[in-house]
Amino acid sequence: MSFKILQQIIILGLAIAAVFLYIQPKFLELRTLQAETSEYAEAVERATEFNQLLNSLLNKVNAISGSDLRAVEQFLPASVDGVAVARDIETIAERNNMIVGNIAFVETSAVEPVQRVQEEDFFDPDAMDGAADTVPLPTTLSRSRFQVSVRGEYDELVGFLEALEANAYPLNVVSLGLSGGADAEAATSLYAFDLVLETYSSQPTM
């Protein structure tokens, strides 16, 4: 074997060794760097979209007037002031000529999770079978109930119920019962009614 051929073999061997020992690792490192760069670019894009959405939501919040915010806070407060609610119920009853016998706070309990359905499946009965999944509410929604005993005429009761419905915050009638009829001997048309009223509060989940 001539020296020239041997020299070519040695050079070829060194080239192959360089490929495996230096070039290939650098190539793999470059591929990894490209993948990481792509992931970083996607993360930056998502962050940009999130910031745009956040700014949009903040602009919408800032556009809400102070009076509207106070109305929302009154409609669905962070907690129920039982004394204030009882006083409001008493005031509404008296304005409708109802005689208040008793107003008592009963309990506060959490509202059950709701069913979430994809909008595109709403009008598709076949897709509805597996579309709804029970999920926690985005806020901790609680209901507070009050037992109310009042006396009055039927028309006054109707006015009382209409006033409850028109209240600035929900006072829903859960149950309504007649606990006593009119007193014929006393020539009065007053009836005794027992009601359970329900109002709500909400705390955002963290």
**Average of per-residue pLDDT across 39-64:** 79
The CATH number corresponding to 77-204 among 3.30.70.60, 3.40.50.1100, 3.10.129.10, 3.30.2420.10 equals 3.30.70.60
**Token couple for 172:** 């829903």
What integer pLDDT is reported at residue 167 of this predicted model?
A: 94
Q: How confident is the model at residue 98 (pLDDT cuts 50, 70, 90)?
A: very high
Identify which has the larger pLDDT, 129 or 88: 88
Residue of 87, 83, 64 whose CA lies nearest to 167: 87
What are the DSSP calls for 146-199, one per residue? Answer: EEEEEEE-HHHHHHHHHHHHTSSS--EEEEEEEEE---TTTT---EEEEEEEEE
Give the E-state strand segments of 72-171 in sequence order: 99-110, 114-116, 133-135, 139-152
pLDDT tens, 172-185?
Answer: 999 999 876 655 55
Q: Among 108-112, 152-156, 165-169, which is the least confidently predicted range?
A: 108-112
